[in-house]
Amino acid sequence: MKISFEISDKTLIVKIAGEIDHHTACEVKEAVNEQYTANNCKDIIFDLNGLVFMDSAGIGMLIGRYKQANMNGGEVYAEGISPEIERIFCLSGLNKIIKRCEITDSTEKDSDRKGVLN
Amino acid sequence: MKNEMRLNFAAISENEIFARICASAFVLPLDPKVNDVTDIKTAVSEAVTNAIIHGYADADSDDKFVNMVCRYEDDTLYIEISDNGCGIEDIQLAKKPLYTSKPELERSGMGFTVMEAFMDDIEVISEKGKGTTVKMTKKLKL
């Protein structure tokens, strides 16, 4: 599993490639918490274009991040969900709390991204 | 076609990926559909994770192993995942969607629900202090 971060305004963009299971979910949780707190972020965008596998540990981790952002008045968005991972999202009801967005290019301007989110 | 494999591995979280990749590799001779492979990988991942974090949660010994048996006959796949851990006191409660005995670990409580959704049949056999066996069956679309 590979994780990288980008910060735009007060939005933390988390790019995850590889697989999320119980083992890697713990790593994601710690890394996201550290970046989110250190940079005083509000919203979180998960870029899951490179994610090839996720089990219920990913559900728990995403719900945890949703609670964290919510306490801070923020939202959690996800982008690039494959059809396989979509099934886990539907089954768990994650669809109801994690909003969808589109990031076409990670270098796009903040104003463009805000337009997509709104 | 008939085939079977048995695997015994240390109950550490690094082996969650090892177990699901072994299970998916085992069915490859059947030329399975991508969806079926994802289902198998996900269900195995859930059962193995349960063995590691619940079955052996309080065990101190180094002798913590998870056993996996995979077998297929024609288009039907059988998977058995067992541990010699603490066992499940109330199987019905454990299977309940969103129930988790470890909310502090950010567990979603969806493990058994995912196994039930992604496999055709699941049976849980457990005895307190002895361990748990999860038996799953899936008919593959070949």
Number of domains within chain B:
1
Tokens of B70: 């995979």
Question: Between A and B, how many CB-CB pairs are < 8 A?
Answer: 63
Q: Which CATH number belongs to the domain containing residue B58 in this structure?
A: 3.30.565.10
Q: In this structure, is the dihedral angle defined by the CA atoms of residues B78, A54, B85 and B123, taken in order, positive or negative?
A: negative
Q: Nearest Cβ partner of B106 from A21, A64, A88?
A: A64
pLDDT tens for residues B86-127?
A: 999 999 999 999 999 988 888 999 999 999 999 999 999 999
Chain A positions contacting chain B at CB under 8 Å are 19, 21-23, 25-26, 29, 53, 55-57, 59-61, 63-64, 84, 88, 91-92
Question: In chain B, what residues touch A19 (CB-CB under 8 Å)?
Answer: 17
Query: Domain residues for B83?
Result: 2-139
- Please name which of B15, B23, B66 lies closest in space to residue B44, comparing C-alpha atoms: B23
The reported pLDDT for the residue numbered A105 is 54
Q: Which residues have CB under 8 Å from A62's CB, separation 6+?
A: A46, A76, A78, A94, A98
pLDDT tens for residues A80-93?
A: 999 999 999 999 98
Tokens of B137: 């069956």
The reported pLDDT for the residue numbered A113 is 46
**Is beta strand B76-83 parallel, antiparallel or unpaired with respect to B65-73?**
antiparallel
**DSSP state string for B55-117:** ITTT--SS--EEEEEEEEETTEEEEEEEE-SS--S-HHHHHSTT--S-GGGT--S-HHHHHHH
Tokens of A100: 């969808």
CATH of region A2-117, choose from 3.40.50.11740, 3.90.550.10, 3.40.50.970, 3.30.750.24: 3.30.750.24
ipTM of the complex as predicted: 0.91
Is B107 annotated as catalytic? yes
Which residue out of B16, B46, B71, B106 is catalytically annotated? Answer: B46
Are the CB atoms for A36 and A66 separated by under 8 Å? Answer: no
- Using the CB atoms, write b or e for A58-75: b if 16+ within 10 Å: bbbbbbbbbebbeebebb
Average pLDDT in the A56-77 region? 96
Q: Do B16 and A23 touch (CB under 8 A)?
A: yes
Question: What are the residues facing B78 on neighbouring strands?
Answer: B71, B137
Q: Where do we find the tokens 């202090």?
A: B129
Question: In chain A, what residues touch B109 (CB-CB under 8 Å)?
Answer: 60
